[in-house]
Structure 1
Amino acid sequence: MTNFRNKAVSRRSFLRGAGVAMALPMLDSMMPAVASAAQKQAIAAAGPDGKPRRFLGICNNLGLLPEQFFPTEAGRNYKLSPYLQHLEQHRNDFSVFSGVWHPDVDGGHPADNCFLTAAPHPGSGGFRNTISLDQYIAERIGHLTRFPSMTLGVNVNRGQRSLSWTGSGVLIPCEEKPSAVFKKMFVQGSPDEVRRQVRKLELGRSILDAVSGQAKELQRDVGVRDRDRLDQYFTSVRDLEKRMQMSKEWENKPKPKVTSPCPLDPTSPAEYMDKVKLMYDMARLAFETDSSRNITLMLDSVNSPAIELGEDHKAADGYHNLSHHGKNAGKLKELQAIDEWHMKLLADLFGQLKTVKEGGETLLDRTMILYGSNLGNANTHVTTNLPALFAGGGFKHGQHLAFDREHNYPLPNLFVSMLQRMGLETDKFATSTGTMRGLEMV
């Protein structure tokens, strides 16, 4: 073991042990400590009312036609807008917001990187993202399910986009194939495959154990400022050990059995809506079997071609080109048809979740669903007055919360309300100023 006593520690220093060389990261880029007490984790697992809570975050990065989506009246007795009429049977299960935004999140299309992080100025040089809402949740209660989080996408180029970002601002690539998601959740590997995976996890733990003594010695021999930063890093290492151990335990537990067949993956990007429906199905199955309580879904409409709407209709132009309609009547008609299809699929998801009962409630009652966009208007690339619809999860819904459309209200306040509903003790997330005004728990 290398002795660090009385030695300067350079950026190229390593922790060595048992044939392992573990590089020291730059101290100013370490992830924050996320470990919490076992008692708090147990409370957070079920929420403050003893019921498991779940989260599904969906971003359509081309948004929705504002004049078709937003109601013209506020409050609980508002008249449904043309788009929301497709959700009429569920109107008491969701709230719609207008006049909300992520403060200082600008830049047009790059703002989809910040849909669940709210990190400011994503289009600027040197931008570095922050932790996304789902990963914040995963760090605290994710180990209680087989999959701490699931990151999904539709028409994402080789999976290299998603809504999920780590605490150090690293993108988590998404899974695009519904069949892969299904097999990951429900197809049990052979005994040899399980043993090999367990061995990998055991190796990971032994690596961390091998360097832990040297890490403690290093921490003793550095200055106060670096000691505090190193303490954050080593706490994250201990958290990783815990995660590996939890993963090992899940590898040995049988996966749930379902009657649903493994889906066939659509082969064409034009089958966009079919992919969306399948990913909604995968999210529902994950929640129903409690495989995960924390899922994100990026609907990458920017990279979608002319898409099919049912068996007998195909859009006349690519999705992105239609969004830049310039108020052309033909393009607006095509775009409205696409948006309405999104609303129909969302209505179907709500309906499916309501058919699943859990402890006298429906799965929708225990699942918070945020559907929205990083763009308030794709035609002009503005990132204000974002379309946002929030359903389920144990809140009093059936209302239009209308905020100032000129001086927008922070959408991250909703994130704080959601975290508190999950039983996590926090009063701040990103650029929030409190909890969501007007949104009450049941």
Structure 2
Amino acid sequence: MSQERSAMSHPFDRRTFLRGVGVSMALPWMESLRVWGDQPKGRTASSEAPVRLAVLFSGNGYHGKEFWAKESAQGLEFGQVLAPLNEFRDKALFIKGLYNEQALKGNIHSSQTGNLLSGAPLAAGGEIHSGTSVDQLLAQTYGRSTKVPSLVLGCEAGNPSVHKNYSMIYSSHISWSSPTTPTPLELYPALAFDRLFKDEVQKGDKSVLDAVLADARDIRRQISTSDQRKLDEYLDSVRDVEERIESAGKQGELQGWRPTLDKPNMPRPAEGIPQNIADHMRLMCDIMVLGFQTDTTRISTLKLNNDHSSLRFPHLNVDYMIHHLLSHSDTADWLKVNQFFFEQLAYIARKLDAIQEGERTALDNSMLMMCSSMMTGSHDATQLPVVMLGKGGGKIKTGKVLDYREQSNRQMCRLYLSMMDKMNVRPGTFGDATEALAEV
């Protein structure tokens, strides 16, 4: 059989790629292959930074009189709870009226938290059954592009007890890998850091061309002589582009997106859990930003505390009452605790907004959502508090208040469909929602 005939019988298809570790590179058209490999649908173009998703959670709701936002001629105005976000008013969305219907069918706390990111019905009687959360659905698809599909962080240990006939596991986890599996929560900053960076060689450490050379040599043996010359010219052009990108990167020029860091710019945290809750939260925020900045992960959740939380806040001089009990009254101390939680969101946003990625910042290329299991400590889950920062890769119009309180189809899962759409994941339905929010 001739070389050309052998090439024609090779099982190539219309989407033929050179493949290597973490790399897929389309082949040019060749007469002996009769194929044309193009960019798979839904993939982010190489010159565009990826969209990241971060969900921050604090339990037991917020101050009943100071959690608000409104539009004015000067832009968004915030109540005192959201005061830490004032510098990001033009990159914020304040969303009213969304809720999970299933959260109203069980008890307080557990059944208001366990389906927060899925909208799924929850099993009672101490049984564990919820639904796959939006972050993990994204991790199963979008997360395949990174070393760590998703980073799931927490600052308060889970509670294994039962409260009013529902497992407190629901109150302790917002991320679920499957309906029966809460995603393991990393409470130790050092171990979270190790998960991101303990491997010495990562996908981005080799050039694209070096990663696919073995596959290229295999294909070269099966194509015609003229196509071999075409393949060699193609690979030479890829090498030339890589070298120019490398040179431009050293000169501070942008030629195709690359992570702004290739290794951590902070030391590995100490072993154990910090005794100071402020130190603990700040370390977890830094690790989340590092994961995004190095493109080690693009999806993360940070559970600042549990619903029905037992955290205390001595650094705020609020050490006389645990978080859960404090939430039952709209005091000045409760407001201080609320602001402390939103300071963590502001800290993450500030760091991401300082990272330039072409014409946008890393915050512009992200969706940061802060939410809780109820509106206030009175256990009202008929609407959920939602604040978003970031523009989702330029696809979200911010600086607005969206009010769905008078709409019949105000499922929280409609927001998740909108967020998934910004990351090119479109399941059609999710939880109890069949359509995305057109305004997000």
TM-score of Structure 1 vs Structure 2, range by shorter chain = 0.5 to 0.7
1:186 aligned partner: 197
Is 1:70 the counterpart of 2:82 in the alignment?
no
**Separation (CA, whole Å) in 2 of partners of 1:99 and 1:75:** 23
Question: Is the 8 Å Cα contact of residues 60 and 379 (structure 2) preserved in structure 1?
Answer: no
2:143 aligned partner: 142
**Separation (CA, whole Å) in 2 of partners of 1:97 and 1:176:** 29
**Separation (CA, whole Å) in 1 of partners of 2:357 and 2:417:** 25
Map 1:34-53 to 2 at 5 A: 42-46=40-44, 50-53=48-51
Bigger-Rg structure (1/2): 2
How far the C-alpha of 1:125 sits from its partner, in A, is 7.1
Structure 2 counterpart of 1:88, one-letter code = N
Is 1:352 the counterpart of 2:348 in the alignment?
no
Select 1:303's aligned residue among 286, 309, 320: 309
How far the C-alpha of 1:295 sits from its partner, in A, is 0.8
Which SS does the other structure have where 1:166 is aligned?
strand
Structure 1: runs of 5 or more not aligned:
1-37, 191-254
Is 1:373 the counterpart of 2:384 in the alignment?
no
Question: Is the 8 Å Cα contact of residues 98 and 405 (structure 1) preserved in structure 2?
Answer: no
Which SS does the other structure have where 1:100 is aligned?
coil
How far the C-alpha of 1:298 sits from its partner, in A, is 1.6
Map 1:132-281 to 2 at 5 A: 132-157=133-158, 161-188=172-199, 256-264=262-270, 267=273, 271-281=276-286
1:200 aligned partner: none
Change (3 A) 1:166 1:88: same
Deviations 1:157-211 (A, max 9, x none): 3897432212343112200011111122123469xxxxxxxxxxxxxxxxxxxxx
Structure 2 counterpart of 1:129, one-letter code = S
How far the C-alpha of 1:95 sits from its partner, in A, is 0.1
Change (3 A) 1:399 1:162: same
Deviations 1:122-174 (A, max 9, x none): 65776621111011111112221001111111112389743221234311220
What is the TM-score when the length of structure 1 is the normalising length?
A: 0.67
1:293 aligned partner: 298
2:402 aligned partner: 401
Change (3 A) 1:72 1:422: closer
Is 1:315 the counterpart of 2:326 in the alignment?
no
Change (3 A) 1:121 1:406: farther
**Separation (CA, whole Å) in 2 of partners of 1:130 and 1:171:** 9
Structure 1 counterpart of 2:195, one-letter code = K
1:334 aligned partner: 333
Which SS does the other structure have where 1:108 is aligned?
coil
Structure 2 counterpart of 1:177, one-letter code = Y
Which SS does the other structure have where 1:61 is aligned?
coil
How far the C-alpha of 1:435 sits from its partner, in A, is 1.4
Deviations 1:16-69 (A, max 9, x none): xxxxxxxxxxxxxxxxxxxxxx99995434289954111111111222113211
Which SS does the other structure have where 2:95 is aligned?
strand
Map 1:76-91 to 2 at 5 A: 77-91=75-89
**Separation (CA, whole Å) in 2 of partners of 1:305 and 1:149:** 26
**Separation (CA, whole Å) in 1 of partners of 2:123 and 2:375:** 16
Question: Is the 8 Å Cα contact of residues 163 and 297 (structure 1) preserved in structure 2?
Answer: no
How far the C-alpha of 1:422 sits from its partner, in A, is 0.5
Change (3 A) 1:119 1:61: same
Map 1:85-100 to 2 at 5 A: 85-100=83-98
Structure 2 counterpart of 1:348, one-letter code = Y
How far the C-alpha of 1:89 sits from its partner, in A, is 1.0
Change (3 A) 1:306 1:41: farther
Question: Is the 8 Å Cα contact of residues 92 and 388 (structure 2) preserved in structure 1?
Answer: yes
Which SS does the other structure have where 2:55 is aligned?
strand
Select 1:324's aligned residue among 325, 328, 333: 328
**Separation (CA, whole Å) in 1 of partners of 2:68 and 2:271:** 34
Structure 1 counterpart of 2:197, one-letter code = F
Which SS does the other structure have where 2:131 is aligned?
coil
Question: Is the 8 Å Cα contact of residues 112 and 163 (structure 1) preserved in structure 2?
Answer: yes
Change (3 A) 1:323 1:168: closer
2:108 aligned partner: 108
1:229 aligned partner: none
**Separation (CA, whole Å) in 2 of partners of 1:262 and 1:149:** 20
Structure 2 counterpart of 1:138, one-letter code = A
Question: Is the 8 Å Cα contact of residues 42 and 424 (structure 2) preserved in structure 1?
Answer: yes
Question: Is the 8 Å Cα contact of residues 100 and 405 (structure 1) preserved in structure 2?
Answer: no
Moved more, 427-436 or 41-50: 41-50
1:390 aligned partner: 388
